[in-house]
Amino acid sequence: MSNAIFNEASVQWKRSAEDWQEAVRVSAGPLLQQGKITDDYVQAMITNIIELGPYIIIAPDVALPHARPEQGVNEKGIAITVFQQPVQFGEQSVRILICLAASDKETHLNLLQIISSWIGEDGLSQSMIATESRDELIHLLKNYFIEGEEI
């Protein structure tokens, strides 16, 4: 299991997704593969969106799929997926999915603070959308990687 919270292994660049449910599953892929979350967590994210609406859209073009720590998080982590084709959530669409898994409430707040600083930053999401390959996206994001116990 990787100790890094966010690194190259958690960056994905995809052409498209069938629908938002597939996009959420894809966005969770790296965290699932690294053993940081369980299948239950993935299902909880989807169920929450069905029940509560697309509350995960945090900015134009950006969604933050997440559930609660007790819904299946083994270890904290962030995965970012950029889709070349917009993913439709109801009437809105997004291109960036930031899948968040926090192991407890305090970590959750810390990770939200970090993501907030990325999204509040002028132009970062537009630069992410403008990338044309996974390598390009990794190059753009490498300054934002978070190793093990930094938080």
Partner 1 sequence: MKILAVCGMGFGSSLMLKMTIERVINKQGITADVESADLGTAEGMGADLILTNNEFVSQLEGGKSVVKAVKNVASEDEVAEAIQAFLDEQ
Residues of the shown chain interacting with partner 1 in the complex, contacts defined by CB under 8 A = 48, 52-60, 62, 64, 66, 68, 90, 92, 100, 108-109, 112-113, 115-120
Catalytic option among 66, 76, 95, 108: 66
- Minimum distance, C-beta of residue 75 to partner 1, in the bound complex (Å): 19
> Closest CB to partner 1 among 16 and 117?
117
d(CA 16, CA 38): 24
Say which DSSP state 37 is in.
B
**Greatest Cα pair distance in the chain:** 39
Which residue, 11 or 111, has its beta carbon nearer to partner 1? 111
At closest approach, how far in Å is the CB of 53 from partner 1? Answer: 5
Q: Nearest approach, Cβ of 55 to partner 1 (angstroms)?
A: 3
CB 88 within 8 A of CB 49: no
Beta carbons within 8 Å of 125's beta carbon, 6+ residues apart: 59, 60, 61, 62, 96, 118, 119
- Tell me, yes or no, if 139 is annotated catalytic: no
Active site residues: 66
